[in-house]
Amino acid sequence: MKFVRYGLAGNERPGVIDAAGNIRDLSAYTDDINGAALAAGLIDKVASLNLEMLPLVSENQRLGSPIAEPSKIVCIGLNYVDHALEGGRAIPDEPVLFMKSTTSITGPNDTILIPQNSIRTDWEIELGVVIAKDTHYVSEEHALSCVAGYVLANDISERDHQLRRGGEWTKGKSHDTFCPLGPWLVSQDELGDASDISLQLSVNNIQRQNGHTRDLIFSVAYSVSYISQFMTLRAGDIILTGTPAGVGQSIKPDPVFLHANDTMTMSATGLGQQTHVFANYRG
């Protein structure tokens, strides 16, 4: 199943994609696609429906984040060997964890805002994992039973704020619009093996990242289990699993960063595509 939330920002409605690629409205079955709905069995409920009998949604709808109001976004840094090496960092022995504010979430084609006075805004395509139920101290063996599905994500980062302003990384990761998600929340049975996903990102039609989840240092199952040893993951929470090589700050000899009017496109196997135009934050 592929779930979406469509409509104006702040007023999205729940939907599902039918076999023909059309959006069907789910409002008769759930108020929203969020942690409460996932914990109550939304995915199994919708799987039992005849989608062709649901109301057809008109075309050209804006898509929002396919998951609403997670309690947190937990991120894993340096989770690809090539990305760690391109930044001159050691390969981690354990997952490097940091948080990203939930106010950074935006839709898969929305404008992304460059923070005031930023000159080092960067990209990071990632596989996002959406949690299905409250999860604490889960074993790696059982971790995937706690996963509702997957989303295409971008851990957009302001590198000065992340690396040169003291503390850990959260302040460079949490600006408004810095976590585009979607277009779909894809259920586990629909996507298949999360270790077999190709990830591509281009800026202004120049390919910058071309990675694959088979190269993750810490797998999805291991990551869910590991994080659950330190905090309870709530239904609807999102884990960003890290980015492969090709981020702007590591381009040699001259790093490349994002500016107003740049266009970024990214896609992943089974998870769809995002396209964003960048604009300066105006306040």
Domain ranges of the chain: 2-53, 73-280
Task: Look at residue 167 in the predicted model and tell me its pLDDT.
Answer: 77
What pTM value is reported for the model?
0.97
Outline where DSSP puts E strands in the chain.
Answer: 2-6, 13-17, 23-25, 73-77, 96-100, 105-106, 112-114, 121-122, 125-131, 147-154, 157-158, 179-180, 185-187, 198-203, 206-212, 238-240, 263-268, 272-280
Pick the CATH number of 73-280 from 3.30.1490.100, 3.30.365.10, 3.40.50.150, 3.90.850.10: 3.90.850.10
Residues of the chain with pLDDT under 70: none
Q: What is the residue type of 101?
A: S
Q: What local confidence, expressed as pLDDT, does residue 41 receive?
A: 97
CA angle 38, 195, 269 (to 5 degrees): 75
Q: What pLDDT does 166 receive?
A: 85
Asked whether 259 and 277 are in contact (CB, 8 A), the reply is no
Q: Give the model's pLDDT for residue 221.
A: 98
Beta bridge partners of 14: 5
Contact call for residues 74 and 99 (beta carbons, < 8 A):
yes
Q: Terminus-to-terminus CA distance in the chain, angstroms?
A: 38
Q: What is the pLDDT of residues 79-122, one digit of tens each?
A: 999 998 898 888 999 999 999 999 999 999 999 999 999 999 99
